[in-house]
Structure 1
Amino acid sequence: MTDPTPSLPPVLPPAPPPAPRPARGRLALLVAGVVLSLVLGAAAALYHVLLRPNVPTAVEGPAYLYIRRGVGLNAVLDSLRRPGQLERYQTFAWVARWRGYGTPAHPVQPGRYTLPAGAGNLALVQLLASGRQDTLAFTLKPFNYLPQLPRQAGRQLNTDTTQLHQLLIDNAYLVSHFGLDTATVRTLFIPGQLRLVWPTTAAAFLDSVAARHRRFWTATRLHEADSLKMSKVQVAVLASIVQRETAQPTDKPLIAGVYLNRLRRGQPLQADPTLLWPLHGLGTRKRVLNVDKKVDSPYNTYRHKGLPPGPITTPYPQALDAVLRPAHHKFIFFCARPDGSGFSDFAETFAEHKLNARRFQHHLDSLKIKR
């Protein structure tokens, strides 16, 4: 018969205490901690040198770096050494040399570069090495004589003024590229704003000017010129005279109409500003003298009928449009008003014109008496 009492499990001996950790394990943990600290420290150092913002935010707006042609890394570093350009100049110099900026593989690219606020050294070096420069707004101002143009471009765009002057007097180049000669090339220049890189070569500058000229001469304007039986050059030549005659926008179409009436009748233009152009008096002399009318020049519109061979200044779009859309009237004469407003009085007959001219002369005489 089986005993119903269950048997008790055997009593196990107590577990032995854990063996002490070998010294080698502690050393491994220590080494791992040191390595981790070194990695984190290196990462922090790399962040500080490569990625940490180094370009400060300027209160007066973005900062620009201008790099001229033919310079190397040292010239760039000298420019960036100026106060306000970088917060930590030495770290940028280290990164630039480390990345090989300024070497044949990554040469210094000329141009004007915006220094992005908050950019780190690596991003700034990559920007400069890429050559992704800014464009700048160049305002082409009216000029009466070609030597005045290179000074404009040279001052604002760092254009080679000697090269630009040589292109402007190279008749073969002007004819082949723009269909103009040394007398008419000034009609290519329409004052206004252009977006150009810095520096701009002489040829690139002229190409940009020509592109603006093409954009101005829309199909509508070409049709308007054709309806006047005038070429683009002829419109610009007459517009240059209108621009020198008045600064009043509402008078420009009226004066353009006077000169167009004279051209249709075969009369000399008798435009005083054309007398001063060959004498290099535009911009320096206010009055035309009777002796000026005797100068033997194709620009003397008292002695020669028709338009002069070239413009006497570079006309604004407003003056060009005044010729393309002239006021329709029968006036043949105009004279400055004696009130000094800059407006003109217009007349159909010479007798009316003499009365207007006499009133203006009396005004001038009264001014002399007051002085």
Structure 2
Amino acid sequence: MSELPELKKSFFARWGWPTFILLLLLGLAGLGAAWYVLWKPNVKPSAFGPAYLYIRTGSGFAAVQDSLNKYELLRDSSTFAWLARQRGYSHHVRPGRYLLAPNLSNSALLDKLERGEQDTVAFVLDAFKYKPQLARQVARHLEADSVSLRRLLQDNAFLQRQYQLDTTTILTLFLPGPYRLFWNTSAQQFLDSAAATHRRFWTAQRRQRADSLRLSPTQVHVLASIVQRETAKKEDKPVIAGVYLNRLRRGMRLQADPTLLWAIGNFGVKRVLNKDKLVDSPYNTYKHKGLPPGPITSANRQSLDAVLKPAAHQYLFFCARPDRSGYSDFAETFAEHKQNARRYQHMLDSLRILR
């Protein structure tokens, strides 16, 4: 213990107090610099809600720097760049969408980026009628571009191998509703996620119901897509599903107007004309018996369950009510149906709706 005082004496004897004070100041300055670079809050608070850093797949550190600078996310980008180089982050850039909490330090931000602790994207997939509409929706929320998704949706061999569906039936894979995925999800990963959602929906109980109706899950989706286009009313969906199932059992044509509108590519039509019924398409259910080859929209859970639990009745016809309530009038005979249809046509005439 006697050596320590002697060491102090020898130090001060050789260097003196001024040197000691200088070294102390330099040490404190070093600690201050380290705090400034490592732990000082550096992420700017945003006045427009949460701030996110998007790093595209395959991007390098230069792209990360460009994004940070372009959107002015940091108070001092030079200290972040210096620390990133010292830690070798430039060789371990991981893509994703990262939430930048206000006042995050350089060290904490790098920890987040290096570990790939990205934030998920929550979005609602709306019902769609055509593949390009699906691709555009997905591209608005995820890194996967619409071109790559459309390419996969047109690859028959891939779709059959991966999902046992083809380019016509692939739209039955998608259930409208909420999704939560990483932003850098690829086109195939999105399809895999949709397939997983599809599998969860098709429980053993739902498959048994489909079997009891002598329908496959794909056929249920196709019929549900027609029901969905016919009405938005929850109460009418099972009744309309029952009408179409009654017609299928009797070998009658479905004569579903929405399938004609899909065939002519115009869902804005209010009045279906006789010339529409002549369109040459497998979706023309006035010409062809049975279900069309694929869905005319992505059916939601409510429409699917309406087909799986149809109302029991003897109706074979229905027509929109003339009160424009969105509900339908149902009939067992064609004579009754003609009366209902005539009232609806009179309403269209009174409003001068010709198409």
The reply to whether TM is greater than 0.5 is yes
CA deviation digits over 1:74-123, x for unaligned, max 9?
221121124552222222222222222223xx2x2221001122311011
Q: Name the SS of the counterpart of 1:318 in structure 2.
A: helix
Deviation at 1:31, TM superposition (A): 3.0
Q: Distance in 2 between matches of 1:367 and 1:314?
A: 31
Give the alignment partner of residue 298 of structure 1, picking from 250, 267, 282. Answer: 282
Corresponding residue for 2:55? 67
1:154 aligns with 2:133: no
Give the alignment partner of residue 100 of structure 1, picking from 85, 88, 109. Answer: 88
Give the alignment partner of residue 132 of structure 1, picking from 99, 117, 125. Answer: 117
1:332 aligns with 2:329: no
Q: Residues 2-41 of structure 1 correspond to what in structure 2 (within 5 A)?
A: 24-25=12-13, 27-41=15-29
Moved over 4 A (4+): 21-24
Corresponding residue for 1:230? 215
Corresponding residue for 2:350? 366
Q: Name the SS of the counterpart of 1:345 in structure 2.
A: strand
Q: Name the SS of the counterpart of 1:296 in structure 2.
A: coil
**Partner amino acid, structure 2, of 1:172:** A
Give the alignment partner of residue 285 of structure 1, picking from 232, 247, 269. Answer: 269
Root-mean-square deviation over aligned CA pairs:
1.9
Deviation at 1:26, TM superposition (A): 7.7
Q: Name the SS of the counterpart of 2:196 in structure 1.
A: helix
Corresponding residue for 2:127? 142
Unaligned stretches of 5+ residues in structure 2? 1-8
Q: Name the SS of the counterpart of 2:165 in structure 1.
A: coil
**Partner amino acid, structure 2, of 1:40:** L
Give the alignment partner of residue 205 of structure 1, picking from 173, 180, 190. Answer: 190
Contact 2:169–2:293, Cα closer than 8 Å, also in 1: yes
1:317 aligns with 2:312: no
Corresponding residue for 1:3? none
1:81 aligns with 2:69: yes
Q: Residues 229-268 of structure 1 correspond to what in structure 2 (within 5 A)?
A: 229-268=214-253
Q: Distance in 1 between matches of 2:160 and 2:331?
A: 41
1:217 aligns with 2:208: no
Q: Distance in 1 between matches of 2:57 and 2:270?
A: 42
**Partner amino acid, structure 1, of 2:222:** V
**Partner amino acid, structure 2, of 1:323:** V
CA deviation digits over 1:169-222, x for unaligned, max 9?
111111111111111111001111111111221111100110111111112211
**Partner amino acid, structure 2, of 1:213:** H
Contact 2:224–2:304, Cα closer than 8 Å, also in 1: yes
Change (3 A) 1:22 1:332: closer
Q: Distance in 2 between matches of 1:292 and 1:36?
A: 91
**Partner amino acid, structure 2, of 1:339:** D
Q: Distance in 2 between matches of 1:286 and 1:174?
A: 35
**Partner amino acid, structure 2, of 1:151:** R
TM-score normalised per structure 1: 0.88
Q: Distance in 1 between matches of 2:179 and 2:316?
A: 38
Q: More deviation in 135-144 or 27-36?
A: 27-36
**Partner amino acid, structure 1, of 2:294:** G
Aligned residues: 345
Change (3 A) 1:22 1:114: closer
Corresponding residue for 1:10? none
Identical pairs, percent: 59
Q: Distance in 2 between matches of 1:302 and 1:22?
A: 107
Q: Residues 108-119 of structure 1 correspond to what in structure 2 (within 5 A)?
A: 108-119=93-104
Q: Name the SS of the counterpart of 2:185 in structure 1.
A: coil
Unaligned stretches of 5+ residues in structure 1? 1-20
**Partner amino acid, structure 2, of 1:357:** A
Contact 2:94–2:113, Cα closer than 8 Å, also in 1: yes
Change (3 A) 1:22 1:60: closer
Q: Name the SS of the counterpart of 2:53 in structure 1.
A: strand
**Partner amino acid, structure 2, of 1:126:** D
CA deviation digits over 1:122-151, x for unaligned, max 9?
111222122221210132121111122222
Deviation at 1:332, TM superposition (A): 0.9
Q: Distance in 2 between matches of 1:24 and 1:240?
A: 90
TM-score normalised per structure 2: 0.92
Corresponding residue for 1:8? none
